[in-house]
Amino acid sequence: MSGSDRTAGERTTNPPVRRPADWDAERLRSLAAEYGTPLYVLDPDRVRQNCERLLGAFPDATVDYAVKANTTRTVLETVEQAGLGAECASAGEVRRALDAGFPAERVRYTAVNPPAADLDAVVDWWREGGDGLTVTVGARDALDALAERGYDGRLCVRVNPGVGAGHHEKVTTGDAPQFGVPFDRADEVCTAADDVGEFVGLHAHVGSGVSGEDLSAHEVLVARMAMLADELDPAPEFVSVGGGLGVPYSRDEPPLDLESVADATRDAFDCDARLAVEPGRYVVADAGILLTEATTVKETEETVVVGVDAGMTTLLRPALYDAYHEIRSLSGTVDGDDRHARDPTLCLVAGPVCETADVLGEERVLPAPERGDLLTVGTTGAYGYEMASTYNSRPRPAVVTLDGETVARRETLADLTRLEADGDDDGTRGADTRTADTRGDDA
């Protein structure tokens, strides 16, 4: 049943977040043996289920996927087939969404201080048959830049509502000055947008990873945006109140009650425009897991250090946000019935980068670790592979589905130096921003 076929009175199942222990251990071991580590594993079925829950919770709203959470072709195709739209933060994400099959009318480009090259590309694609595309602007300058390029299509205005929340100060956007036009100037910018093209929507976003007490800030944002929408002339078709739905990464965090969030959003949204939401993390976070192998085990006075082949270049969130990801060993058991189970040991799990920040987890209880152990790092489907880097000249890991389909092959050192090797050309080689589908390549 699609979201449009449901009524707000119907309740949808909101299962607990998928933890490392919920994945098939034997299957994960098999994938690690076949493709090596570090390795990201994605489950498209879980992505599809999460999309269905969102459509069920917001039956009368437009649900767009925040593409930046995970841009792999497999995820995008799964999300598109589920019926969600695509909310894109860059020209590259717009291209990926279009290439994955999203029709232009279900794609929205939310430009934050957009580079000229991004605007050039998006306007070109709009001219080439993407006239249903919607561009969101967060500054008057962006409107002028679009007008200079001849864009007169659908326009949405991002507003700074003066209220923010999120799991970390670095992802609290609703009250940060770089995001959106000031609330008291929204009217004039919306009028200007209608002069440049067709003003169709408002947008605001409180922050990322919102849950628990932070939901009150989300409700305030929704109410403010609804009030603004009713005051505008012309009135917007839709009001996007962002995404940012939190995922409880730790077992100690209460699960997100999606139905209650949806009800509270509807209650606060008192206007005639269509409600739009744009979750990203909720769609993919627990649809992904990271596999890594222990490379060294070292006992110290403070702890037992487990060195692994995944680090901040593989999964940046712990170093950047002090984020928690559950870690589980697949090479022993702490509380099982195995007579040869290893003793539970307090460990520090660290990566191969020579920086103190390169820690995936502190004070984690694992079966007494040994070199060669296979560890899983949970809920890494969102902002895991997406934020991976080649710092220290470390190639990015492979990504495969739970069924063993290659989503992205493992990078090689040759991949890392290819642009340097091509340095004698005119700089245009490989400039096409269209993304290649590498799923058929070997990992």
Pairwise pLDDT comparison (335 vs 230), residue with the higher score: 230
> Of 51, 88, 156, 354, which residue is the catalytic one?
354
Q: Is residue 281 part of an annotated ligand binding site?
A: yes
Q: Same domain, yes or no, for 317 and 253?
A: no
Residue 349 lies in a domain: yes
The CA distance from 394 to 413, in Å, is 8
Residues with Cβ within 8 Å of 363's Cβ and at least 6 positions away in sequence, in order, are 303, 346, 347, 348
Q: Same domain, yes or no, for 73 and 90?
A: yes
Residue 440 lies in a domain: no
Residue 108 lies in a domain: yes
Question: Looking at 255, 283, 311, which one is the last position of a domain?
Answer: 283
CA dihedral angle for residue 67, residue 69, residue 71, residue 75, rounded to 10 degrees: -90
Q: Same domain, yes or no, for 141 and 59?
A: yes
**CB-facing half-sphere around the CA of 346: CA atoms within 13 A:** 6
The CA distance from 144 to 196, in Å, is 8
pLDDT at 414 over 60: yes
Question: Looking at 283, 318, 352, which one is the last position of a domain?
Answer: 283
Residue 435 lies in a domain: no
Q: Same domain, yes or no, for 234 and 326?
A: no
State pLDDT tens for residues 41-94: 999 999 999 999 999 999 999 999 999 999 999 999 999 999 999 999 999 999
β-bridge partners, 65? 86
Mean pLDDT for 369-375 is 97
Q: Same domain, yes or no, for 221 and 325?
A: no
Q: Using DSSP bridges, classify how beta strands 288-299 and 274-277 pair: parallel, antiparallel or unpaired.
A: unpaired
Q: Same domain, yes or no, for 54 and 164?
A: yes
Q: Same domain, yes or no, for 273 and 303?
A: no
Q: What is the pLDDT of residue 243?
A: 82
Q: Is residue 418 part of an annotated ligand binding site?
A: no
Residue 86 domain boundaries:
45-283
Residues with Cβ within 8 Å of 432's Cβ and at least 6 positions away in sequence, in order, are none
State pLDDT tens for residues 189-208: 999 999 999 999 999 987 65
Is 354 catalytic? The answer is yes
The average confidence (pLDDT) of the chain is 87
Q: Same domain, yes or no, for 275 and 329?
A: no
Number of folded domains in the chain? Answer: 2
Residue 434 lies in a domain: no
Tally: H helices and E strands in the chain: 12, 18
Q: Which residues of 41-70 are buried (b: 16+ CB within 10 A; e: fewer)?
A: bbbbebbbbbbbbbbbbbbebbbbbbbbbb
- How many residues in the chain? 443
Q: Which residues of 175-206 are buried (b: 16+ CB within 10 A; e: fewer)?
A: beeebbbebeebeebbebbbebbebbbbbbbb
**Radius of gyration over every alpha carbon of the chain, rounded to an integer in angstroms:** 23
Q: Is residue 317 part of an annotated ligand binding site?
A: yes
State pLDDT tens for residues 293-334: 999 999 999 999 999 999 999 999 999 999 999 999 999 765
Q: Same domain, yes or no, for 332 and 372?
A: yes
Q: Same domain, yes or no, for 27 and 116?
A: no
Q: Is residue 410 part of an annotated ligand binding site?
A: no
Q: Same domain, yes or no, for 270 and 290?
A: no
State pLDDT tens for residues 82-139: 999 999 999 999 999 999 999 999 999 998 899 999 999 999 999 998 889 999 999 9
Q: Is residue 278 part of an annotated ligand binding site?
A: yes
Q: If pLDDT is split at 50, 70 and 90, which confidence band does 443 have?
A: very low
Q: If pLDDT is split at 50, 70 and 90, which confidence band does 431 have?
A: very low
Q: Same domain, yes or no, for 222 and 334?
A: no
